[in-house]
Amino acid sequence: MGEEANCNTVMEATKAKENGHAVAVPDVKGKADDTVVAVAPAAEADPRLQGISDAIRVVPHFPKPGIMFNDITTLLLRPGVFKDALDIFVERYRGMAIAAVAGIEARGFIFGPAIALAIGAKFIPLRKPKKLPGEVISETYVLEYGTDCLEMHVGAVEPDERVLIVDDLVATGGTLCAAINLLERAGADVVECACLIGLPKFKDFYKLNGKPVYVLVESREYEK
C-alpha cells in the first residue's frame, strides 16, 4: 500500500475497482497506491451522471482570472437532475450505519441535509469562522491564496460515530482535509467524503488523509 497523502499535500490516487475490473486512476503524486476500492458508476453504466455533468455550468475567469468555476446553481434549477445527484449518494450511503452527515459551508449545505434525512442521519454544519454561537473547535487550512478556517460545535458528534463529509467540489482537497481533521479531533470515525465534482486528475475514487473521496463527475475545463 502506498504512502497516504496528508493535508499539506495533494491527494494520492489509488487503484479503483468496480464489477471486478480495476480502473487506473492518474497518480497525482507520482506514486500509485495498491488499495482497491469501489468507484462511482461509469457514465456509460449510469446515464444520470452525464445529466449531472451537463447541468453544471462552467464560468471562465470567476472569481478571478484563470479559474474555471463549476457552478452548481444551474443543476439546482433542474429538480430531476438535482434529485438524481442526491439519489446516487443516498443509494451509496444507505445501510452504511452512518450516524452523521457533516456538510461544508456553503455549498455542502445544499446537498448534505437532504442526504442526511434520506439515510436517517443527523446533519452537522461545518461553518466558516464566527458563525456558530456555541463552543467550537476550529481547523485552519491553506487555500491557493491565504488561509481559511472551518468550525464545528463541541458536542455535535460523539466519539466513534460514523460520519460522512459532503461538499460540492474537491479541488486541492484542503477543505476536505480540514473537515476530516476537525471531525477526527472530536473522535468521529470519518467513513468517506462525497462530492459532486472533482478536478479531472482527481476523478473517480481516491484517498485523502487515508479517507476515501467519492466523486460523481469530473469538472469540465470548458464552457458549454
Ligand X SMILES: O=P(O)(O)OC[C@H]1O[C@H](OP(=O)(O)OP(=O)(O)O)[C@H](O)[C@@H]1O
Ligand Y SMILES: Nc1ncnc2[nH]cnc12
Among residues 107, 127, 139, 161, the one annotated as catalytic is 107
Phi/psi of residue 9, nearest 5 degrees: -125, 170
Contact 141, 170 (CB under 8 A): no
Residue 69 binding target from ligand X, ligand Y, none, CB below 5 to 8 Å by type: ligand Y
Radius of gyration of the chain (CA): 17
| Of residues 37 and 169, the one with the C-beta less far from ligand X | 169
Alpha carbon distances (Å) from 162 to 21, 26, 121, 186:
28, 29, 10, 12
Nearest distance, CB of residue 141 and ligand Y, angstroms? 13
Cis peptide before 63 (omega within 30 of 0): yes
Residues lying near ligand Y in the complex (CB under 6 A) are found at: 67-70, 169, 171
Q: Please, what is the minimum distance in Å from the beta carbon of residue 16 to ligand Y?
A: 23
161 catalytically annotated: no
Residue 67 interacting partner from ligand Y, ligand X, none (CB closer than 5 to 8 Å by kind)? ligand Y
Told to judge if 127 belongs to the known catalytic residues of this protein, a careful annotator would answer no
Give the whole-angstrom CA distance, residue 192 versus residue 129: 24
Q: Is 172 in the site for ligand X (CB under 6 A)?
A: yes
Cell of 188: 468521529
The binder of ligand X chosen from 16, 88, 116, 170 (CB under 6 A): 170
What whole-number distance in Å separates Cα of residue 29 and Cα of residue 207? 12
The site partner of 84 among ligand X, ligand Y, none (C-beta below 5 to 8 Å per kind) is: none
Judged by beta carbon, residue 36 or residue 143, the one nearer ligand X is: 143
| Residues annotated as part of the active site | 107, 144
Residues near ligand X (CB under 6 A) are 104-107, 167-175
